[in-house]
Amino acid sequence: MKKVIASTSLAVLLSGCLGQNALFDTVQDWNATATNNKFVNQGISFVFWWVPVYGLSLLGDIIIFNSIEFWTGTNPISKEGPKVAGTTETVTDGLGNEAELTYNADGSITVVAAQERYTLIKQGDQVIKLQDGDREVLGSVMM
């Protein structure tokens, strides 16, 4: 019985690594718009790390919600499924900037933001921006 519990716990923990972290993102998005004063919002952010609201929400994502997303295909917080080739979504950052992301079958993402269009690809451990025939390495991904 102990082996079953241990292996089930290990499977849940290992599957929870990847996911949208929707609970953490929801708390962070609320924090970004909690007041009309960016200094107060920053103070709330410090308190949320110290209390630890952010830490507990991230832990909940990793152990519970990302695991549910991994096994069912849908995150119970965001109600979103996996990113499927051909789908497009509009995302907004904390400053109100919008970008339209289109997920491609080859794993790349086409981005349209601020009248600019480019494609992001992962090649080896690098993230590369392709725009008008130019290639720019933006960073690397550690796995």
* Burial class of 26 by CB neighbour count within 10 A (0 to 12, 13 to 18, 19+): middle
Residues 6+ apart with CB under 8 A from 127: 120, 121, 137, 138, 139, 140, 141
Q: pLDDT tens, 83-142?
A: 667 778 888 877 777 888 888 888 788 888 887 888 888 888 888 888 888 888 887 776
> Can you give the pLDDT at residue 50?
93
Q: In what order do the strands lie in the sheet with 116-123?
A: 88-92, 98-103, 109-113, 116-123, 126-131, 134-140
Q: pLDDT tens, 22-38?
A: 889 889 989 988 999 99
Q: Please determine, for residue 13, whether its predicted confidence score (pLDDT) is greater than 60.
A: no
The owner of tokens 């590369």 is 128
For residues 73 and 142, which has the higher predicted lDDT (pLDDT)? 73
**What SS3 state is found at 7?**
helix
Q: Please determine, for residue 15, whether its predicted confidence score (pLDDT) is greater than 50.
A: no
Give the type of residue at 62.
I
Q: Please determine, for residue 77, whether its predicted confidence score (pLDDT) is greater than 60.
A: yes
Rounded to whole angstroms, what are the CA distances from 64 to 49, 51, 56, 59, 97?
20, 21, 11, 8, 31
